Structures are given as structure tokens and as C-alpha cells.
Structure 1
Amino acid sequence: MDELTAYHEAGHVLVALLLGAEIHSATIDPDRDDGPERHGDTQIVWRNDGSSPREMAERAVQVALAGPVAERLYGGEPFHPGFVAEWADDWRLAWDAAATLIADERRRVQFLEQTTLLLHHRLDQEPHWSALAALADNLLAHETLEGEQIEEIVGEWLS
């Protein structure tokens, strides 16, 4: 399995957890169903915590961009997530979620770029980087992790 894919999915997982989501599962086992081919997938459920639609959109943006940011950190690549074909789905999800927040497209791009930089800084710090690496290592070892496994792995670093 691809290490970049493991870090990518680990990024989605970690940021979703940090923002209060529940993770049902994460996998780097390629999906070859009738839809678009995916190299990884994370099943996220948001708890009903009374968050506003704006707060939920902001969370969706962060989770969507966290995969490319984690992958970029691991690979040491300075690429903009909007310009890498493999990240197009993540960028589109972030773009669509941000559309409910910011109608002007130029300001929306600036918001997404700023969010990417904030995520880059956050994930590059301890203990987040260690938790991210532990998730990626476990995804590489097992290909699929269930929610309880994920909470146990992350709990070692973020408790």
C-alpha cells in the first residue's frame, strides 16, 4: 500500500476527531466499485452538538483539506492542493462547503489557502504529527481501521 495514501487518510481522520467527529472506519484498500476509483476512504459521522450550519461548513472544509495537507507534509511537497489532480475531490468538497460561507470565488480561494496553511501548521506540531504518523503506520499494517482502533491509536498521543 502507498504511504502517501495512508498519510492522506490519516489527515482526514485526525482532523475530524480533533473537530469532534466520530470515525466509523478508515481504509487505504482501493475501492473499485462503479463510482470513481478511490485509493482510500474515511467514514465520518458528526455528532449532533448544536453546531451552526456555518460551524459545520468550516469543519467540512478543514477535514477535506486535511488529507492533502498531511500527504504534503509527509512528502515534503510544497504543492497547492487545488492544483494536484489526485486531490481534486478533496478540493471540490472544500470548495463546495466553503461556498456556503463565502460567495465571492476569489475570497473563497483565499479562505481555502489560509485554512490549508493553518492545517499545515497544526498537523506539523506535536503531538498531532505523532498521532498522524501512528494512524498512517497502522493503516499501512492493517489497510482498514475501525473506529475503536482509531480512538485507541490516537488516544495514546492526544489523551
Structure 2
Amino acid sequence: MDDHDTLTAYHEAGHAVVAYALGATVEQLRLGGFDDADELPQRFGDCRVNWGRVDPKTDWQLQRELLAVLAGPVAEMIYRDEPLHPALDGPSQGDWAHAWELCRAAVPAPELRTRVLESLIASLRQTMQRDAWWAAIAAVADELLAHEVLDQEQTDETLSFWIGRI
């Protein structure tokens, strides 16, 4: 299995590529880790996304946010070639919980909410496995591994090359 930083880089790159493709500005990507695994997670990363001025109550905005949140775990699933469920996979549980809460008002029934989120995951997986999408994710992951922090300009430079191809 690959190291924690590589898995985290692909995870964060998934968030960034999908958010960017859906019109967000990726303000910062960060890769980091902790030495003391007993107290803090071994893997840690962050993708800061800015959607600009939007009405948060619109269905389209909810869809964009859900897709961006779930894209991290999906990128990791593809990289690992394992069909892990984000609700059960430790590093992805926070993303699942975030998506679960985002979706709560629109889909109050827990069983239906689970099916909606799992449907989004399946759709993302099918899309993100396409060559151009995966190349964009790999390019961002490589940059993140090389620099540990990518600002908006660095992310825009990398993604602007790929987005026209996906």
C-alpha cells in the first residue's frame, strides 16, 4: 500500500478537481501529517473551496457541494482500487458526515439520504475514472506531493490545463 501522504494527496486532489470543474475557486490545497498517531490522525489534508456568491438554498449548489465533498473519498477509492464506503473508511468518515449533514434538509429520511449519497458516489466514480479526469487528479496530487501546499494560482495553473480536456 502507498504511504499516507500519497493517499491524502489523491483524496484532496479529488475534492479540488471536481470543485474546480463545477465552477469553484480552489483557494488552497494542503497536505500534512502528524507524528503522534495515538492522539491525531496519521493522514490530514485540506482543500479550501470558494463557490463565490451563490444562494445556498438552491438544489444546484447543494449538488455541487455534495459532489465536491464526496470526490475526495472517491478519488482515494479509485487510487486504492477498493470499493470502500466513506461511512466506514476512517479517513473518509469526516467527508461522509459532512455530506450527510449537507443533505439532511433536502433529504430528511436517513435511508433515502444514504441512497442519494451512494448514487452520487457511484456517478462520481464512473466519471472520475475516465482518463482525462484521472490525469487531472494525478497532476494535482503530484503537485501537492511536491510542494505540500498549493495556493490558488498554483492550483489554477495546474487545473486550467486539464479542465478543457475533461
TM-score of the aligned structures, taking structure 2 as reference length:
0.87
SS of residue in 2 equivalent to 1:133: helix
Match of 1:107 among 97, 104, 112: 112
Where does residue 94 of structure 2 map in the other structure?
Answer: 89
Match of 2:19 among 4, 16, 26: 16
Paired with 1:101 and 1:22, the residues of 2 have a C-alpha distance of: 25
> Which segment drifts farther, 52-61 or 145-154?
52-61
Unaligned runs of 5+ in 2: none
Paired with 2:54 and 2:102, the residues of 1 have a C-alpha distance of: 19
Shift of 1:126: 2.8
Q: Are the equivalent residues in 2 in contact too, given 1:58–1:97 (CA < 8 A)?
A: no
Match of 1:43 among 39, 42, 48: 48
**After TM superposition, where is structure 1 displaced by more than 6 Å over at least 4 residues in a row?**
none
> Which segment drifts farther, 83-92 or 54-63?
54-63
Paired with 2:71 and 2:97, the residues of 1 have a C-alpha distance of: 13
Shift of 1:103: 0.9
Cα deviation code 1:86-131 (max 9, x no counterpart): 2111000100111121111100000000000001011111311100
> Which segment drifts farther, 61-70 or 38-47?
38-47
Q: How does 1:77-156 map to 2 (within 5 A)?
A: 77-156=82-161
Corresponding pairs, count: 156
Q: Are the equivalent residues in 1 in contact too, given 2:5–2:33 (CA < 8 A)?
A: no
Paired with 2:12 and 2:34, the residues of 1 have a C-alpha distance of: 14
Paired with 2:19 and 2:163, the residues of 1 have a C-alpha distance of: 14
Q: Are the equivalent residues in 2 in contact too, given 1:27–1:139 (CA < 8 A)?
A: yes
Shift of 1:14: 0.6
Paired with 1:43 and 1:157, the residues of 2 have a C-alpha distance of: 19
Q: Are the equivalent residues in 2 in contact too, given 1:9–1:67 (CA < 8 A)?
A: yes
Where does residue 79 of structure 2 map in the other structure?
Answer: 74
Where does residue 27 of structure 1 map in the other structure?
Answer: 30
Paired with 1:154 and 1:145, the residues of 2 have a C-alpha distance of: 12
Q: How does 1:59-70 map to 2 (within 5 A)?
A: 59-70=64-75
SS of residue in 2 equivalent to 1:102: coil
Shift of 1:50: 5.6
TM-score of the aligned structures, taking structure 1 as reference length:
0.90
Paired with 2:162 and 2:59, the residues of 1 have a C-alpha distance of: 29
Change (3 A) 1:39 1:151: same
Cα deviation code 1:41-74 (max 9, x no counterpart): 0111112256753222222211111000001101
1:2 aligns with 2:5: yes
Q: Percent identity?
A: 36
